[in-house]
Amino acid sequence: MALRRFRAPGRVNLMGDHTDYNEGFVLPMAIDRECVVTATRRDDGRVHARSRGETADVDAAGADEPSAVVPEWGRYIGGVVRALAARGRAPVGIDAEIESSVPAGSGLSSSAAFEVAVALALCDAGALTLEATEVARACQEAERLATGVPSGIMDQLVSVAGVAGAALLIDCRTLDVERVPLPDGIAVIAVHSGMPRTLETSAYAERRAACEAAARRLGLRALRDATLDQVSGDPLARHVVTEDARVLETAAALRDGDCERAGALFSASHASLRDDFRVSTPELDALVEELERAGAYGARLTGAGFGGAVVAICASDRAGEIGATAAAAYAGRMRRDPTVFVCIAVDGAGAIV
């Protein structure tokens, strides 16, 4: 096998957090930060990967327990290998070099980008062809195998299916995907708070279990089917129902080019994630406040919360100024070093030719 390269982007979620595992709606976009895997085939039945001076080695048939692989990042490789083996991939080994510009623990889905890029390299070497949604399902399964976190499918699906210049409106029940073009003159800014997080050490699983319990109490398959009246007394469930509505409203606002309306929905989402779902932190709250004070149309935490990043939308000709002003004010206020990314919506994963 000749040298082959594969890329998979990270993502920023514009609207819809903690709705994916409730079979609801999300509005992410693939961004111009990516994981790249450079691979060649090897004949000893091993997957051997290198990244930043460390190496991971796993059985190409998926025999090694993913959660026991060292170093820790190798667990994702073990998970992907096992998930693809279950889908019929031949146990062909590869040598892989891993590079990534998606910062780990940032809320920009570095793990999904890693999983998807590795999956494409392994499918190529093992002559396995999967539909995009099945690649996403395999990588979602891989993350669960690697970390034990019962994550949704949003991150992996947008990494596979992203479209340049657009967000994706994803129905997490049917996995139907609709392109939502970003209006001219709008910029998307992601700002890492300087406060990393890992889902396995957060209350993510606890929140998911609470949502599933709420759906059972209501006799529903998932909270996606609940009405606001049914959940008015349950803050966690109330967030999910109102957030689903905000996803659809934000998609409509972007289609209409109504940035002010979209910004107001961002602000409402952050308040709901902070007050009802309780996944924000003082750092994330401060960063949202400073972005809005600097002139963003609206800002909100993005991803699961508990740290990581916030996302804001603003006028494109002011993106650099707004990001720099907010970052400086936040750093002085919280004594943390933020990192600003002006994000460009890019196409989903594929081979680099």
What CA–CA distance (Å, rounded) separates 189 from 319? 7
Which residue out of 17, 20, 64, 155 is catalytically annotated? Answer: 155
Among 154, 128, 129, 126, residue whose Cα is nearest residue 140: 154
Instruction: Please confirm, yes or no, whether 155 is among the known catalytic residues.
Output: yes
Phi (first) and psi of residue 4, to 5 degrees? -130, 145
Residues identified as active-site: 155
